[in-house]
Amino acid sequence: MRRVLSGLVNFTLRCIRLITIVAAMTKERVIGNGNGLPWHIPEEIRHYRAIIEGKIVIMGGKTYELMKKNLPGRNNIVISRALTSIDGIDLCTDINSALKKAASYGDDIFIIGGASVFEQTIGIADRMSLSEIKKSYEGDKFFPEFSKENWTVESREDFAEFEYVVYARKRL
């Protein structure tokens, strides 16, 4: 059992091995522009899909709308007060209830966006799987700031247009 205390999240998560944030961002931490990605990198999209395939994913309503469909083969949990019932989706109104729902599945949790959801979960995440886009892009949505001193690089893989880096939170 693991006790999680952070901002809105104040409950016991059971049966979870890891909470992992999965995101793509520029060096300036840009993750979005308007209601979409400011880049089109098919190799990164394939890589992203492979990481979250078959996983429990939590996303905000805007991220869900960007995808325009359920992610097949996954437990999809969407945080939204505006959306109503959607087949194949667990709808929750806040991050606390989304994490509780995810915990009920008894497996690792993958946080896939957007900016507000990343901001609310970066303090409790065990890992971050980040595609660091090499080129700069304009944007209005940003990944939260984090101190690399609190994270260890587990792995790093270079691609033509991005570098894929897995960070693990340092434990005291």
Q: What is the structure's pLDDT at 13? A: 45
Q: Contact at 8 Å (CB) between 132 and 25?
A: yes
Q: What is the structure's pLDDT at 127? A: 97
Mean per-residue pLDDT pooled into runs of 10, the chain (172 residues): 39 63 98 94 95 93 78 82 82 95 93 96 97 98 96 98 97 75
Asked whether residue 5 is domain-assigned, the answer is no
Signed CA dihedral, 93, 28, 69, 14: sign only: negative
Task: Give the CATH number, domain containing residue 115.
Answer: 3.40.430.10
CA 161/CA 50 separation, integer angstroms:
17
In 3D space, the residue among 148, 52, 59 whose CA is nearest the CA of residue 107 turns out to be 52
Q: What is the structure's pLDDT at 78? A: 94
Domain ranges, residue 97: 12-169
Asked whether residue 3 is domain-assigned, the answer is no
Asked whether residue 42 is domain-assigned, the answer is yes
Question: For the chain, what is the domain count?
Answer: 1
Asked whether residue 105 is domain-assigned, the answer is yes
Q: What is the structure's pLDDT at 68? A: 66
Q: pTM here? A: 0.88
